A and B are shown apart, each in its own frame.
Chain A
Amino acid sequence: MASRGAVAYRTEVWSDWCPGCGDFGILAAMQKAFAELELDPANTVVVSGIGCSSKTPHFINVNGVHTIHGRGIAFATGIKLANPRLTVVVNGGDGDLLGIGVAHFVALGRRNIDVTVILHNNQVYGLTKGQASPTLRKGEKVKSIPVPNIQDAVNPIALAIASGYTFVARGYSLWVDHLKELIKKAIQHKGAAFIDVLQPCVTYNDIYTAEYYRERLYKLEEEPGWDPIVRDPSEDEEKKAAAIKKAEEWGSRIPVGIFYVNPLKDTFEDRLQKRNPYYNSAKPPAFEEISSGDGKPIIGPDEFRRIFSKYIVSVRRHG
């Protein structure tokens, strides 16, 4: 059933990634997740930036908005706030989301907009032939770079938690069903959700290979006592601290799974609605009428006078 459903979320566009690219696994997991959640293609939007992974929208049979480098989240923000009834998923690489686009990555967390962000994390800039990305660790030299990297890596999980994302997880592109479950949970979560997906770059990254990950990855949900969910606001600080500590684990063992979930925090859409109860009440803003049938604006001269009365001056008749 599920696999048959996933087919409906495929387009006829050929995926031109390198054979064996981790992006294939992420794409398959997304299509399966969309199918199992029965997302309406008309009301689902996959947004991306630039890079190998950002071609993803063209391969999924829902609305696709393939934008410019680093700005997928910013485009998604406008889409979601103008029509909160859409399901919005952002795809981007580590260079896209954590390098050039990091300001937007942080801002989405601060706002906690109900958008899912899927990071295709392969430690290199693939489409430009393998330069070091913000997630390549200091001192590492993948085969595509001539000298070792001397910039420190950013920790995507810790950054997401510090920025305010309320669902933070890590998946692995070759564990498609595990990843699919994470994607489903992220989409169902109300608020900014982030999944750091580790993926081998078979062409440029000879350090973080499939073999490397196979030897080290373990699932958090199988760890006794691991509970990432905030069930009371008083637990938040502790859960965040535990998640960030866990995110530092990167050596002989590397965790995947859910690091942190806080379903209690209000989304940006909630905050807008709290300030203005009419926001997204009858219709999403994008669908509100702005003119009557004859092309006249809804705000006529009388409404204008009322709304802007303190700027309007009437001259009285003299004599």
Chain B
Amino acid sequence: MATAEIPYQETVPLHHPKTWLGKWVFSQDHKVIAVQYGITAMAVGLVALVLSQLMRIQLAWPDAMPWFGPDEYLSAITMHGMIMVIYLLTAFLLGAFGNFCVPLMCGARDMVFPFVNMLSYWVYLVSVIVLLAVYPLMLFTDVQPTGAGWTLYPPQTITAGTPGADWGIVLMLASLAIFIVAFTMGGLNYITTILQARTRGMTLMRMPLTVWGIFIATFLGLIAFPALFVSAVMMLLDRLIGTSFFMPAIVSLGQKLSYSGGQPLLFQHLFWFFGHPEVYIVALPAFGVVSDLISVHARKNIFGYRMMVWAIVAIGVLSLIVWAHHMYVAGMHPYFGFFFATTTLIIAVPTAIKVYNWTLTLWRANIKLTVPMLFALAFVLTFIMGGITGLFLGNVIIDIPLSDTYFVVAHFHMVMGVSPILAIFGGIYHWYPKLTGRMLNDTVGKWHFYITFIGTYVIYFPMHYLGFVGVPRRYYETALGEVYPDFYPASAHDLNVFITCAALVVGAAQILFIYNLVHSFFWGRKAGANPWGANSLEWRTPDTPPSHGNWGEQLPSVHRWAYDYGVPGEETDHIPQDVPRRAAS
């Protein structure tokens, strides 16, 4: 063997900012950028939460808000979906957790290109502003937010009659394109950091699963977002200069439009070529975070670490060839259903491996029901629940009667709405002490957990029933009530009222969380360097919260994996990654 490799970051000095602005606003420190990402994502997520509450109120009490008509309802649905999937979940899991965890857990001083990383946040902020600009514009002009549904299927997206078909959709597509630029800048950084800037002894197979989840998810993002970018560009051209990429010859409101010959299905294919990996872009980091939380708080090594890693990789690969299971009723090639149903069901295998491994990690473990652990357990339950309905929907024959009903709504909210959010909450409760040096309040946290967890089940369980009854998704209540008074069976409407009540409670409970975040920041209990007794490197920084450069003078050296909890024959119940192995006696 030749001379040992020297980490490049030991040879270059880190440039410390001098000014307040450089430290906290235009900061190139990955931890500050993580917080900026997190706060922005949470703020925009609150907007989406309010929108969902408005929709629920409309469904339960159609007459309560006369200003919230069908157009507003459709716009709210679109905005809610897009914000939650992209601007909250993707941005939080990769932007906030990715930025915070990757350098700390890999033992790097910072991301490889901190300036590009900072730019990533600011461009993301621009995309959020462009997205939300539609609301102030609504007050002064007749611009409406687009109401095409978050999937933005043409031709209805840009034909008259859909709210926001003139300018709302332009803002939405522009914002998406800007977001993709931001994501690319951040994503390149995360991947290069993980691949090229680890510390001594940190092999890929010693990385915590959080980093693995973020790694594969980011890579998926880098190769899936281009499809969305391309379709956004093409749709913008269709809308703005009248090309016909996606627009067939079409008669709209009695007028033959100037379009001809486009292929609407192409959009759906491109969209889901992005959209399905997107599900795993959101799910894989959540898997990783939950794996770490379960192992730390159950004081036991993760069961089958290698299988967990390979399952993440396998899910990532498979996710690229399952996209058209979202399109069984779209009128695509009839044989595609067979292909995509098969690949979809194959994905259940690595996913099931993960679930079994979580369960086996818990088996006879020393489970500590801390707040992060509660959220992690809730994630596993919710994910199983949403995943199993996914198996139903993945089969063409069962999907056809259920497609576009509330069954689908319940499925994807369980599996990629609630589950990742629970993982995010768990992660925040877990890493907040390292980030701020103070613990979050336990009692408030438990209240927040129980209301959120039970509440989401109360919300989404009945929706499966609504789906069986045949209630279509995205429908506004009164409009149908007037035209077809018996459209909603009484039982369905009563359920809607019930769901709305639960949703209002869950929504209000998030105030507890925000209160907890703010209050604990100033008055929380001091945390110390390693309150959970965790092994991974981020708990081994010389300062808490970690200072710029993370590691002081010397980069840590890694000697073992991150899961040495309760090792038989050892003195302590956990052995951090940078503790050398004992010489064999």
* A joins B in a complex: no
Chain B residues with a Cβ under 8 A of chain A: none
Chain A residues with a Cβ under 8 A of chain B: none
